[in-house]
Amino acid sequence: MPEDQATLQSYGAVAEIPGKMFAQLAENARHNPPDPQSVADVIKNLIDLPFGQRPLRTVSGNDVKAVEMINEASRQVQENVLAYFMPKSL
- The residues spanned by each domain of the chain are 5-85
Q: Look at the pTM and tell me if it is higher than 0.75.
A: no
Query: Residue 34 CB: number of other CB atoms within 10 A?
Result: 13
How many angstroms separate the CA atoms of 54 and 46, rounded? 6
Tell me the helices (H) and strands (E) count for the chain, helix number first.
4, 0
Average pLDDT over residues 46-70: 83
pLDDT tens column, 73-87 = 888 898 888 888 887
Q: Model confidence over 10-54: pLDDT tens digits?
A: 999 998 898 898 898 888 888 888 788 988 999 999 999 998 898
From CA 40, how far away is CA 4, in angstroms rounded? 38
> What's the Rg (C-alpha) of the chain?
18
Measured in whole angstroms, the distance separating CA 52 from the mean position of its chain's CA atoms is 21
